[in-house]
Amino acid sequence: MTERTFSIIKPDATRRNLTGKVNAVIEDAGLRIVAQRRIQMTEAQAKKFYEVHAERPFYGELVEFMTSAPVVVQVLEGDNAVARYREVMGATNPAQAADGTIRKLYAESVGENSVHGSDSLENAKIEIAQFFTDADIVG
């Protein structure tokens, strides 16, 4: 089934000028970038985006990291896009990520792990709506 998922190229990757290399992995995996914008996340946006982790010990560090440099927010479209992109990203901790995944190739640590991808179709819809309107997305 064709789905849309939400992706973020995180500050560790934009800082190292890896946007194009990450996008190449995404496109080579058969996912289509149907919306994309480079933004400086505000503290309020980062806090809201990761609010499910508010009680975790790394929450403050995570918000600080996500606002430390520009990010690229994206909508990806394709067959089973949510699960497919999780596969392409690899495990949260790059030390456990499979060969060829974005995190294996580029992530620096469990915190600074280059990309975000929605973990369910329901969350994908919520996350996309936080950063894009329907008119921004051209499939």
Which of 117, 124, 128, 131 touches ligand ATP (CB under 6 A)?
117
Nearest approach in angstroms of CB 130 to ligand ATP is 13
Among the residue ranges 13-21, 71-79, 94-102, 106-114, the one whose residues contact ligand ATP (CB under 6 A): 106-114
Q: Is 120 in the site for ligand ATP (CB under 6 A)?
A: no
> Which residue in 4, 84, 103, 116 is the catalytic one?
116
Site residues (CB under 5 A) for Mg ion, limited to 107-136: 119
Q: Could you confirm whether 116 is annotated as catalytic?
A: yes
Q: Residue 113 binds which entry of ligand ATP, Mg ion, none, with Cβ cut-offs from 5 to 8 Å by kind?
A: ligand ATP
Q: Residue 117 binds which entry of ligand ATP, Mg ion, none, with Cβ cut-offs from 5 to 8 Å by kind?
A: ligand ATP
- Contact predicate 35/75, CB 8 Å: yes
DSSP structure string for the chain:
-EEEEEEEE-HHHHHTT-HHHHHHHHHHTT-EEEEEEEE---HHHHHHHTGGGTTSTTHHHHHHHHTSS-EEEEEEEEETHHHHHHHHH--SSGGGPPTTSHHHHH--SSSS-SEEE-SSHHHHHHHHHHH--GGG---
Q: Which two tokens stand for residue 62?
A: 């995570």
Among the residue ranges 26-34, 72-80, 105-113, 125-133, the one whose residues contact ligand ATP (CB under 6 A): 105-113
Nearest approach in angstroms of CB 114 to ligand ATP is 9
Active site positions, annotated: 116
